[in-house]
């Protein structure tokens, strides 16, 4: 009995070995699980379910095979793939969950989220997030021809990269703080949902944090990215382990 949690694969044609590692993980391990949860940023970029992508097709087929084997697959949108829609969800056989969601994990309530909502010190990002989650804005973007969306995405990625490297070259300690979760928001989130366990990705800082929130002992589990190797949280009724997957 094992439930699997992953996030931040950032699948991209430029890193085919990671897509292969993920396909092997689905074939070998996920097929045997109780459930698979993907907590966002499965893809490095997503500009609409209608975008032709052999890699996204292969991933959809492999995920659907897991679902067909009787393993429920759940997906929470990340900050990169926030435009993944119900059409791709059908092709991949997964269920899209709201961000955040509380699930019952072997009898305990656990809060799941991508993790970007916890990074409240990055006000510029939170502004971008609020704007790009507007359904009217999204429908307008998705109605544009593919070439226009590709050009827009390239510009967004260039601007983001420029901003990141500028922030890094400035105050390095400040960069580390701004791009990590805000402790006050973590505390508030534990209180708001009344849980004592949360699982998220996004920050690419894999760890299991024990902390106090509202006078309770709480656990915050952070999944790692799949840039150099895989990262998977395996939960059984008896406990959890956060492991690397060699590529
Ligand atoms: C995703 C991020 C690029 C961060 C969507 C309006 C809509 C543009 C879009 C273009 C970019 C997603 C869809 C991408 C996330 C970046 C750079 C930084 C910080 C809308 C305009 F739908 F909301 F209206 N885009 N792409 N970034 O390349 O996948 O998260 S993307
Ligand atoms: Mn992210």
Kindly list the averaged pLDDT for each block of 10 residues, start to end, along the chain of length 247: 98 96 97 98 98 97 98 98 98 99 98 98 96 96 98 95 92 94 98 98 98 96 98 98 94
Closest residue to atom 22 of ligand 1, CA basis: 138
125 Cβ below 6 A of ligand 1:
yes
**Nearest ligand to the CA atom of 139:** 1
Tell me if ipTM is over 0.90: yes
38 with 74: CB under 8 angstroms?
yes
Query: Which ligand has its closest atom nearest to the C-alpha of 43?
Result: 1
> Packing angle between helix 123-132 and helix 135-142, nearest 10 degrees?
70
Structure tokens at 158: 């260039």
Measure the CA–CA gap between 244 and 37, rounded to whole angstroms: 16
> 146-179, pLDDT tens digit by residue?
999 999 999 999 999 999 999 999 999 999 999 9
CA distances from 57 to 148, 150, 165, 174 (A): 22, 18, 33, 40
Most ligand 1 atoms within 8 A of CB, residue of 14, 42, 43, 45 to mutate: 45
Decide: 153 in ligand 1 pocket, CB within 6 A. Answer: yes
């Amino acid at each position: 009995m094992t439930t699997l949690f992953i996030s931040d694969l950032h699948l991209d044609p430029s890193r085919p070995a990671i897509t292969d590692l993920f396909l092997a993980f689905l074939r070998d391990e996920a097929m045997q699980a109780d459930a698979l949860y993907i907590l966002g940023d499965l893809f490095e970029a997503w500009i609409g379910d209608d975008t032709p992508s052999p890699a996204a097709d292969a991933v959809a087929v492999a995920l659907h095979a897991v679902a067909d084997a009787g393993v429920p697959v759940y997906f929470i949108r990340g900050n990169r793939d926030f435009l993944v829609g119900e059409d791709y969800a059908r092709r991949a056989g997964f269920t899209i969950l709201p961000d955040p969601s509380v699930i019952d994990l072997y009898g305990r309530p656990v809060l799941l989220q991508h993790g970007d909502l916890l990074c409240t010190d990055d006000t510029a990002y939170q502004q971008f997030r609020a704007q790009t989650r507007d359904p009217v804005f999204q429908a307008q973007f998705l109605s544009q021809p593919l070439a226009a969306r590709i050009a827009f995405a390239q510009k967004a990625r260039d601007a983001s990269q420029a901003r990141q490297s500028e922030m890094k070259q400035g105050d390095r300690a400040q960069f580390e703080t701004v791009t990590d979760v805000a402790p006050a928001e973590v505390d508030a989130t534990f209180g708001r949902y009344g849980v004592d366990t949360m699982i998220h990705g996004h920050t690419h800082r894999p760890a299991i944090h024990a902390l106090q929130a509202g006078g309770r002992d709480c656990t915050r589990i952070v999944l790692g990215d799949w840039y150099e190797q895989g990262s998977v949280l395996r939960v059984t009724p008896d406990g959890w382990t956060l492991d690397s997957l060699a590529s």
